[in-house]
Amino acid sequence: MELVCPAGNFPSLVKAVDNGANAVYIGLKNETNARHFAGLNFSKQQIVKAINYAHKHNCKVYCAINTYPRENRWSRWTESVDQAIDLGIDTLIVADIGVMDYIRNKSQTFPIHLSVQASATSVEALNFYHRHFSIKRAVLPRVLSLAQVATLAKKSSVEIEVFGFGSLCIMAEGRCYLSSYLTGESPNTQGVCSPASYVQWENKGDILESRLNHLLIDRFEKNENAGYPTLCKGRFDIAGKTQHAMEEPTSLNTMDILPELYQAGVAAIKIEGRQRSPAYVATVAKYWRRAIDQVKSGRSFSAAEPISCLQELAEGKQTTIGAYERDWQ
């Protein structure tokens, strides 16, 4: 079981590698990846430096080119593929079938991982991508139960990667346009949910208000943690009661079911958070490295201590196993 860690910049990549990541995933400085935030991602020179450092420490570098190209900017995606392959990236993480086809026309064997953005949740979908594009692995959306993940790991023709820890994007990945509704930009095309340029914070006495493109998303009392204003996690007036309309701010943490994921044959655990700090990446990578090694060695495994430490780093300081433990789907 591989530990795949996020790297939004070179210092985070170094922390991930030094704390035991088997692979790190990065993006280029454009809208071809789903974390196109100001100050994040890698230039050409930085990619060379990143690959050198990671490979020296036996760690692979994956590059996410996982947004959906727009017709008038298609070359942006093909140039990004060319650049990543030429620079020596180990694997491309891709969602769009046009981009996959472009890669396969360049090389029959270059490793492709199906991005979570493709939102593939059935054996048939995974086998389709394998049959037509020889994908090596698929990253599953965070909407499946443990039993469903186990079935896919057993029956599909590809390796399975699942999210282990990090912010929860509650919609079926690759299909959420809530951010576009308010700002005209969403992760699917421009690589960003709720772009910072549309975010407003305003202190009103003891209350802190957050807005997205001038729409009130939430109000926080002095003693509350103020979350980033995404529409999915806002509090709204519903039938006269102000409450979270879709989901409370929380992070996914599957450490409690790590032995079951391992037994199910899951090939890799992915840590979310390219937008997080190097210190965050270091701490999360360290705990997950230790946990995976413990589970793989067959030693008795207790997730209690790492879970309580990781809780401090979680959104809203609370974690959930999310869809893995739901008895409805």
* Min CB(228)–ligand SF4 separation in Å: 9
179 or 253: whose CB is closer to ligand SF4?
179
238 or 245: whose CB is closer to ligand SF4?
245
What the block records as the tokens of 158 is 């590809």
Contacts of 158 (CB under 8 A, 6+ apart): 114, 126, 127, 129, 130, 135, 136, 137, 138
* Min CB(318)–ligand SF4 separation in Å: 16
Binding site for ligand SF4 (CB under 6 A): 169-171, 176, 178-179, 187, 193, 230-232
* Min CB(187)–ligand SF4 separation in Å: 5
3-state secondary structure of 203: strand
- Region of 58 on the Ramachandran plot (φ > 0 left; ψ -120 to 50 alpha; else beta): left
248 or 260: whose CB is closer to ligand SF4?
248
Contact 252, 165 (CB under 8 A): yes
30 or 183: whose CB is closer to ligand SF4?
183
179 or 190: whose CB is closer to ligand SF4?
179
* Min CB(185)–ligand SF4 separation in Å: 11
Locus of tokens 């690759």: 174
Task: Tell me how far apart the alpha carbons of residues 259 and 255 are, in angstroms, rounded to a whole number.
Answer: 8
* Min CB(97)–ligand SF4 separation in Å: 21
The DSSP output letter for 47 is H
Contact 284, 310 (CB under 8 A): yes
What the block records as the tokens of 81 is 């593929």
| CB burial of residue 1 (10 Å; 0-12, 13-18, 19+) | middle
What the block records as the tokens of 95 is 């969602």
* Min CB(90)–ligand SF4 separation in Å: 27
* Min CB(200)–ligand SF4 separation in Å: 17
**Alpha carbon of residue 232 to chain centroid:** 16
**Alpha carbon of residue 141 to chain centroid:** 9
20 or 141: whose CB is closer to ligand SF4?
141
116 or 150: whose CB is closer to ligand SF4?
116
Task: Tell me how far apart the alpha carbons of residues 312 and 227 are, in angstroms, rounded to a whole number.
Answer: 14
